[in-house]
């Protein structure tokens, strides 16, 4: 689990990127939104969604896999077994799923495509489990 605050993560990414403004890039609105949410630490993962339901952090677990751990961005991007096929495929394209690498200017388009596929797969798996 990351011990850095959202602001520390944002500053770490922001300082190392050139031309960070997502609006200047040729990305769809949904891709810009996914990148911005992930970058700012407000992606719709259990670690965030649980905050609004007053669920203790340790109980905001991933419902996609069976690891019974908090679903935060690290788990989502590189650990979750339920999403492994998707992140492994994109890791080969992007080179690394390190947060700084994902958010360098040259990787933003590929990162957005990966995030879209991952959230679609996550939604599909959660829907299947809910039945």
Distance between CA atoms of residues 9 and 39, nearest Å? 8
Helix (H, G, I), strand (E, B) or coil at 2: coil
Smallest gap from Cβ 9 to Zn ion, in A, equals 20
User: Residues in the chain, how many?
Assistant: 131
Residue 125 in the binding site for Zn ion (CB under 5 A):
no
Euclidean distance between CA atoms 111 and 114, whole angstroms: 5
Shortest Cβ 80–Zn ion spacing (Å): 3
Quick one: which H or E segment has residue 84? helix 84-94
Please report whether residue 46 would count as binding Zn ion according to CB under 5 A. no
**Contact status: 62 vs Zn ion (CB under 5 A):** yes
Nearest approach, Cβ of 75 to Zn ion (angstroms)? 6
User: Does 80 engage in binding with Zn ion (CB under 5 A)?
Assistant: yes
Site residues, Zn ion (CB under 5 A): 62, 64-65, 80
């Amino acid at each position: 689990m990351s011990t850095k605050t959202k602001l520390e993560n944002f500053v770490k990414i922001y300082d190392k990127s050139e031309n960070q403004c997502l609006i200047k890039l040729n990305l769809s609105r949904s891709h810009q939104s996914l990148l911005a949410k992930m970058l700012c630490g407000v992606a719709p993962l259990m670690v965030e969604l649980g905050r609004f339901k007053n669920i203790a952090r340790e109980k905001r677990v991933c419902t996609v896999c069976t690891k019974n751990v908090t679903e935060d961005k690290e788990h989502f991007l590189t650990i979750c077994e339920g999403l492994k096929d998707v992140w492994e495929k994109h890791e080969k394209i992007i080179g690394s799923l390190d947060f700084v690498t994902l958010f360098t200017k040259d990787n933003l388009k590929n990162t957005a495509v990966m995030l879209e596929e991952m959230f679609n797969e996550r939604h599909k798996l959660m829907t299947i489990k809910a039945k």
